[in-house]
């Protein structure tokens, strides 16, 4: 089924999408837990989900009705890119039920050109989301046919600006360039999500701050430990 870009953006514009992912060593990595996270996110008001892994996409698709951004994270020899970098990954995600397929559109070494990935996504009737780290990468991806750019990889390439929080400057540059974009990456506070929308993001993707309790706990534990030291307590 061909998905209308306009219809999808109308459905998600100004809304929250939650990324439900877990690293391999996490207790939440098994698919049933990812499904539970997804269902909880939808219950809380998420209008879409970002899901990693074909099996997870398929299971979440069976459990919820909201749009899914599907990705595959895999390291391949000779390639620095690792988010949905192969045509067979695109096909598998489409078969599993993802309406939007995100892929690595950075300038790092890769086996499959960005234009070929976009063509494969479009051929399956899905929306192509280019995960980028710079304005130049966004321009190139859109020129190659990508429907939207995501700030997902800003600060995660060795040539983009590393920041503690979201890359609001990149968002402003994308808006000024007239490039439709999705805000994603290091968004920890509701105010940061709101600012992203104000800067022109189609919608906002939040992951770790919602669905990774180990990271959330680590932040609180660090703050408490710092306060203890500052108060002079050593035990």
Domain residue spans of the chain: 5-230
Among the four given CATH numbers 2.160.10.10, 1.10.10.10, 3.20.20.70, 3.40.640.10, the one describing domain 5-230: 3.20.20.70
Indicate whether 93 pLDDT > 80.
Answer: yes
Indicate whether 1 pLDDT > 60.
Answer: no
Over the stretch 96-136, which tens digit does the pLDDT of each residue have? 999 999 999 999 999 999 999 999 999 999 999 999 999 99
What is the average pLDDT value for the chain, to the nearest integer?
96
Distance between CA atoms of residues 34 and 56, nearest Å: 7
Over the stretch 44-92, which tens digit does the pLDDT of each residue have? 999 999 999 999 999 999 999 999 999 999 999 999 999 999 999 999 9
Let me know: does 82 contact 156? Beta carbons within 8 Å.
Answer: no
Mean pLDDT of 176-194: 98
Q: How confident is the model at residue 232 (pLDDT cuts 50, 70, 90)?
A: confident
Q: How many other CB atoms are there within 10 angstroms of residue 42's CB atom? A: 19
Distance between CA atoms of residues 206 and 184, nearest Å: 6
Q: Which residue has the tokens 């996504």?
A: 121
Provide the pLDDT for residue 214: 95
Q: Which residues contact 191 (CB under 8 A, 6 or more apart)?
A: none
pTM value? 0.96
Beta pairing, strands 181-184 & 204-206: parallel
Over the stretch 127-175, which tens digit does the pLDDT of each residue have? 999 999 999 999 999 999 999 999 999 999 999 999 999 999 999 999 9
């Amino acid at each position: 089924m061909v998905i209308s870009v306009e219809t999808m953006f109308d459905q998600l514009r100004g809304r929250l999408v939650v990324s439900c992912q877990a690293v391999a060593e996490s207790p939440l990595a098994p698919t049933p837990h990812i499904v539970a996270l997804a269902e909880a996110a939808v219950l809380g008001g998420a209008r879409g989900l970002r899901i990693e892994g074909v099996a997870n996409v398929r299971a979440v698709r069976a459990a919820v009705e909201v749009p899914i951004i599907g990705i595959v994270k895999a390291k391949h020899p000779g390639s620095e890119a690792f988010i949905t970098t192969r045509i067979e990954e695109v096909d598998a995600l489409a078969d599993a039920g993802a309406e939007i397929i995100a892929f690595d559109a950075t300038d790092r070494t890769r086996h499959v050109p960005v234009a070929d990935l976009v063509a494969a996504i479009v051929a399956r009737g899905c929306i192509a989301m280019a995960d980028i780290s710079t304005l130049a990468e966004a321009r190139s991806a859109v020129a190659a046919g990508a429907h939207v750019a995501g700030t997902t990889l800003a600060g995660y390439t060795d040539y983009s600006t590393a920041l503690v929080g979201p890359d609001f400057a990149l968002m402003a540059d994308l808006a000024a360039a007239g490039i439709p974009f999705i805000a994603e990456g290091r968004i920890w506070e509701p105010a940061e999500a709101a600012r992203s929308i104000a800067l022109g993001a189609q919608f906002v993707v939040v992951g770790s701050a919602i669905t990774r309790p180990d990271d959330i706990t680590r932040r609180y534990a660090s703050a408490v430990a710092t306060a203890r030291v500052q108060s002079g307590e050593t035990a």
